[in-house]
Chain A
């Protein structure tokens, strides 16, 4: 086991503007490796933007201006000349609404393996099975691996997305409110999975429900109107908040 305090992602003076609208202002954060970091804050405060800047997904939108550094494993991923797909490969993304790829369940998980690794059919099948077992989907789908992924329930689709993300062996899993489209039972499954996955991956969870952050987070970053108000370990954040805005937010006075 690595030192839990190892820093996986660090941003330095990160500024993001979308159509000249400053969304993130001077973000300086550190995200510890192999822990579950929750990014919380009210809707529209830039949580998703921050998350998507980690794997350079922001730049496929129009009118985006990014300044500052994002250091992952000691490399500034914003510097030019890097192969962007390689950066993204390190970071799996789980979005709000599950987006299975328009292919079969098997092909969904195999997609990343096919583009990144040379594997023969047998290795591929094994890897797919492992990933599906990891997210607890194997027993549910093993007889219909070649059915379209779109036929799964939403909860199953979200777990499939998780399996697909871990199949490419990322270092970080970025989750953008992964439970907000799900029913309570499916949401609980995902939460449990995230807790399990943080042993092997750095998990970053964007959420706007405080209770979820309280249940699962090791480390919390509180964003308010594009600024980092407070960051620290979960225990300290929830029990002993320093900033008055944090206190107000925790008390439910601002949202």
Chain B
């Protein structure tokens, strides 16, 4: 460890920082010829110089530190509202030209002729999210229970890290796989099987499928976490009154970790609902009210990704896309608050 006490250490760092910033300011003036950097580093140097003369007492350090943390925390709350305000502000333009009902309930999206009906896109979004959750939730829950309660320890030790890694795999990678594997499968096998022979493979169903796979690791790893936090005594209590393992799972584990499971599902929903890239790669990007699950579509998020390049040529399109982003934000907001309320009620009732 370094030999100095706190004050010494601080001073040394100050001195070091001062020298470095002075060097950087000289460097930026003569080598980079950049006046902005010169001024920035010079100001840092002067501040550090001043620090050297003012003795920083512990009390001052404490006050300054707390204030700084308060400032950062307050600005994050500010950011939260700023995000909302900027999105609302940006949507005002489209809202002044088109009424809210016509935006939400007209289904013609033709930016070039000035028509911005989102109805078809909203319907597609609901369908895709619903199907993906219908696939993902039961499968993930059953897998989580198997991994937590039934699987041999060795299996558990291999699977858990694997799932955690996969929760971090970028969505564009999933999208790429879907493009390579699922699009042909849907086109050649699944769609014909359900009697729809003209599917290109770029469809709502393909998007829902890849979303479900993306959501698996999220729901599973969160569920495992909440299963693991159940006290063993609780399980023992159930088993000791003669309940079978499955009864224990059903009656005790599901109830005790109910809030956790719910949180996992909400988070999975949020991910599926707002996923942009993977969806836009396989959904076909056509703003149509779907006639079949195997036809192309467009979700709110993928709409932004496939239209943003035109914003410089059609200014009002930018406002329309900002409005779509606002919709996404608001839905996530509502779902989070809903989830929070449910969790609070549940955790009051089932407290362990």
Contacts and interface: CB of A to CB of B under 8 A. Distances in A.
Interface in A95-141: 106-107, 113-115, 117-121, 124
A19 B3 CA distance: 46
A85 interface: yes
Interface of B: 1, 3-8, 58-59
Contacts of A114: 5-6
A240 interface: no
A123 to B, nearest CB: 10
A83 interface: yes
Interface-central residue, B1, B7, B8, B59, by most chain A CB under 10 Å: B1
A107 B6 CA distance: 13
Query: What 5 A-B pairs have minimum CB-CB distances, sorted nearest first?
Result: A121-B3, A118-B5, A114-B5, A114-B6, A119-B5
A121 B1 CA distance: 9
A113 B1 CA distance: 14
B8 A118 contact: yes
A120 B59 contact: no
A115 B1 contact: no
Nearest to A83: B59
Given A113-B5, A115-B6, 8 more contacts: A107-B1, A114-B6, A117-B5, A119-B5, A120-B3, A120-B4, A121-B3, A124-B5
B56 to A, nearest CB: 13
A115 B5 CA distance: 7
A175 to B, nearest CB: 27
Contacts of A85: 58
Interface string A75-86: 000000001010
Contacts of A106: 1
A115 B4 CA distance: 11
A182 B59 CA distance: 37
Nearest to A121: B3
A106 B4 CA distance: 14
Nearest to A103: B1
21 contacts: A83-B59, A85-B58, A106-B1, A107-B1, A113-B5, A114-B5, A114-B6, A115-B6, A115-B58, A117-B5, A118-B5, A118-B7, A118-B8, A119-B5, A120-B3, A120-B4, A120-B5, A121-B3, A121-B4, A124-B3, A124-B5
Interface of A: 83, 85, 106-107, 113-115, 117-121, 124
Contacts of A120: 3-5
Contacts of B7: 118
A121 B3 CA distance: 5
Nearest to A117: B5
B313 to A, nearest CB: 58
Contacts of B6: 114-115
A85 B6 CA distance: 16
Nearest to A107: B1
A141 B11 CA distance: 32
A113 B8 CA distance: 13
Nearest to A118: B5
A118 B4 CA distance: 8
A49 to B, nearest CB: 24
A121 B2 CA distance: 8
A175 B7 CA distance: 31
Contacts of B8: 118
Nearest to A106: B1
Contacts of B1: 106-107
Contacts of A124: 3, 5
A116 B5 CA distance: 9
B97 to A, nearest CB: 52
A83 B58 CA distance: 11
Contacts of A119: 5
B23 to A, nearest CB: 29
Contacts of A117: 5
B8 to A, nearest CB: 7
B307 to A, nearest CB: 51
A115 B9 CA distance: 11
A114 B6 CA distance: 6
A38 B58 CA distance: 34
A107 B8 CA distance: 17
Nearest to B59: A83
Contacts of A113: 5
A124 B3 CA distance: 9
B255 to A, nearest CB: 28
A162 to B, nearest CB: 22
Nearest to B62: A85
A109 to B, nearest CB: 12
B165 to A, nearest CB: 28
Contacts of A115: 6, 58
